[in-house]
Structure 1
Amino acid sequence: MAATGDRRPALVLRGCRRGEVALEPGACLGPEQRERLHEPSLARLGSVTYSIVGRDEANGELGVAVQSRAFGVGFCAWALPGVGAVATQSFTERSYGPRGLDLLAAGESPADALAQLLEADEQRDFRQVAFLAADGRTAAHTGAACIPDCGHTGRPGVSAQGNMLASPAVWHAAADTFAAAEGTLAERLLAALDAAEEAGGDFRGRESAALLVVSGDREEEPWQRAFDLRVDNHAEPLHELRRLHRIAAAYRRRRGFDAQTSLEEEVELARAAGLPEDQVALTAAIAAGAHGDVDEAAARLRPVAESDPRWREAMERYVRLGFVPAAVLDRLS
């Protein structure tokens, strides 16, 4: 790195060919110039991306969603139950995640926590970071050396940010869509990513995406997550992330089965989500067990048990773990 006349950090690009455009802090690059950016330097960049941190006002869940043209963008997303969420990107310094959450857990406000970490970071001008506290307060930083278009927007309960994007419309679309969307926190975060992509996304294209959602209950263990999904390399990472979310949500629904659960509806949802047939059968058995219908639970599991004798061993474990009633085993033969 070197410094320009106004002392803003700049990148020294070696091996530029004639006609290639150098990257300078605050530069306004048009579409034609973006096509001529120095490719080897882009390959060495840290995660350049767009992200959103958000809170569910109803249940306090906290989450991060992110998409990038960079490989394996999931390491940008951090969250702790009942504490907060962090998105750290642009020549990514991962320590903003765990250290920021430690400061939030200790009672620091997002603004003060972020300021402390930025003060200690000599390369702060290259960073883009957003903090969200459990009470909905946010703080964000877009360094002077982040690659345009870059910026952030925040309001209570949400902050959207990005760099190396097609236009400022990207991060605004993410925040506006999140605020207007209905559904679970995960669904609203995914909707925000879709809106950001539709607004232009990362001008280089797309490659990876991630979704992280944790409980708003600080009593939850720090390793507990509602969703922790990553797409490290894919031609359509947002589509793939949605597919994984449908599967994960179908598994997660089992935890809430009770006497009011519609068995057939849950079977249909599990199959539509892409669960394998043995797991569709287990979904049905768990729903039947919640109704107290042991015969129905056994009937749903019997074809699976008969397909391979080793399934009976697995089902014995299901019983011991409380997934299905103990009487099911006696009715399988």
Structure 2
Amino acid sequence: MTFSVLARDPATGDIGIAVSSCILAVGRAVPGARPGVGVVAVQARSRRGLGATLLDGLAAGGTPSALVRRAAHSAEDADRQIAVLDVTGRIAADTGPGSFPECGHLVGDGFSVQGNMLGSADVLPAMSRTFAAVDGDLPDRLLAALSAGQHAGGDLRGRQSAAILVVSGQPPTDEDDGVRMDLRVDDSGDPVAQLGMLRNLQRAYEERDYDRLALFAPEGARDLYAALAASSRGDREGVRRALEAMRERPGWSAWLRTMAGDTRLAAVSRLLG
């Protein structure tokens, strides 16, 4: 009923999972991750608490292979499908004998793909090949593999939800919770594509791509990003128009006054000077 990819980025040490399924809110059910510990996928008809148990096992020093082997011996989990990745890149997966065909898993160097009730036997090989072949950071590679799986057949029943969860390989601190990306599409006719759009939007926020944000940010904030984009281009008239549009919105004039010390808006003010 689900297909997913787990992986570690050897360059950054980040670890993550991307998953899609024809169920509501797959991001609530399948992926689990703890910064500095590992990532797990718990699919098919696995017990709902198994993900937390596997992460606890990793935190206690267990290896992915030992944890998967122990879960595989549980008689009540014949329909289960699991994958476990630790922060060093060790990974193990298992597909229970009662999982829904087409089903299975493939383990590569620091990553694995797994799925059940798949639309074709090409889904997992396509995901594996794509993840191994594409360049980019970990979220981009995870999403590329997920998209390849969807194009190869995806979930036999159709499409509904998708999620991506990426965390640091280091334990969290007061300054950094270790969560690099946590995006979910709970109900959509094309959840993998929608997840890709959310990833691009997050990238725009992180990279301060104001031109993109002026188009795709929530409507109420687009004029703000249009002003910042115009400021970065030295477009005084563009800044003026955007600020005028912002001041017409109830409450925004007061908000602009409170943001007078913000370095980004200071650049806008200097341009209008």
Q: Partner of 1:107 in structure 2?
A: 61
- CA distance, structure 2, for counterparts of residue 186 and residue 167 of structure 1: 25
In the TM superposition, what is the alpha-carbon distance from 1:327 to its structure 2 partner? 8.9
- The verdict on how the C-alpha distance between 1:169 and 1:220 changes in structure 2, with shifts beyond 3 A counting, is farther
Give the counterpart letter for 2:19 in structure 1: V
Q: Partner of 1:127 in structure 2?
A: 80
> Which among 173, 176, 193 is matched to residue 126 of structure 2?
173
- CA distance, structure 1, for counterparts of residue 272 and residue 56 of structure 2: 51
> Which among 251, 259, 262 is matched to residue 310 of structure 1?
251
> Which among 271, 275, 289 is matched to residue 217 of structure 2?
275
Q: Partner of 1:235 in structure 2?
A: 189
- The verdict on how the C-alpha distance between 1:195 and 1:277 changes in structure 2, with shifts beyond 3 A counting, is same
Q: Partner of 1:149 in structure 2?
A: 102
- CA distance, structure 1, for counterparts of residue 65 and residue 221 of structure 2: 45
Give the counterpart letter for 1:215 in structure 2: S
Give the counterpart letter for 2:36 in structure 1: G
CA displacement 1:240-293 (0-9 Å, x = unmatched): 222222222222324xxxxxxxxxxx2333245x1246545545777899x9x9
Matches within 5 A, 1:7-22: none
- The verdict on how the C-alpha distance between 1:327 and 1:232 changes in structure 2, with shifts beyond 3 A counting, is closer
Q: Partner of 1:249 in structure 2?
A: 203
- CA distance, structure 2, for counterparts of residue 101 and residue 150 of structure 1: 24
Structure 1 contact 126–144 (Cα < 8 Å) conserved: yes
- The verdict on how the C-alpha distance between 1:278 and 1:162 changes in structure 2, with shifts beyond 3 A counting, is same
In the TM superposition, what is the alpha-carbon distance from 1:173 to its structure 2 partner? 1.2
Bigger strand share: 2
- CA distance, structure 2, for counterparts of residue 196 and residue 303 of structure 1: 47
1:136 aligns with 2:77: no
Give the counterpart letter for 1:303 in structure 2: E
Partner SS, residue 193 of structure 1: helix
- CA distance, structure 2, for counterparts of residue 108 and residue 316 of structure 1: 55
Of all paired residues, the percent bearing the same amino acid is: 40
In the TM superposition, what is the alpha-carbon distance from 1:62 to its structure 2 partner? 1.4
Give the counterpart letter for 1:71 in structure 2: L
CA displacement 1:141-177 (0-9 Å, x = unmatched): 1000001111001122211000111233211211211
Q: Which structure ranks higher in relative contact order (CA pairs < 8 Å, sequence separation ≥ 6)? A: 2
Partner SS, residue 123 of structure 1: helix
In the TM superposition, what is the alpha-carbon distance from 1:200 to its structure 2 partner? 1.4
Structure 2 contact 227–243 (Cα < 8 Å) conserved: no
Give the counterpart letter for 1:268 in structure 2: D
CA displacement 1:157-212 (0-9 Å, x = unmatched): 21100011123321121121111112221111111111111211112221111111
1:196 aligns with 2:149: yes
Structure 2 contact 228–268 (Cα < 8 Å) conserved: no
Structure 2 contact 40–82 (Cα < 8 Å) conserved: yes
Report the TM-score, using the length of structure 2 for normalisation: 0.83
- The verdict on how the C-alpha distance between 1:247 and 1:219 changes in structure 2, with shifts beyond 3 A counting, is same
Structure 2 contact 27–184 (Cα < 8 Å) conserved: yes
- CA distance, structure 2, for counterparts of residue 327 and residue 242 of structure 1: 32
- CA distance, structure 2, for counterparts of residue 176 and residue 330 of structure 1: 51
Q: Partner of 2:166 in structure 1?
A: 213
- CA distance, structure 2, for counterparts of residue 276 and residue 70 of structure 1: 27
Q: Partner of 1:3 in structure 2?
A: none
- The verdict on how the C-alpha distance between 1:306 and 1:235 changes in structure 2, with shifts beyond 3 A counting, is same
Partner SS, residue 98 of structure 2: coil
Structure 2 contact 5–113 (Cα < 8 Å) conserved: yes
- The verdict on how the C-alpha distance between 1:250 and 1:279 changes in structure 2, with shifts beyond 3 A counting, is farther
Which structure would you say has the larger Rg? 1
Structure 1 contact 69–205 (Cα < 8 Å) conserved: yes
Q: Partner of 1:53 in structure 2?
A: 6
Report the TM-score, using the length of structure 1 for normalisation: 0.69
Query: How many residues were matched structurally?
Result: 269
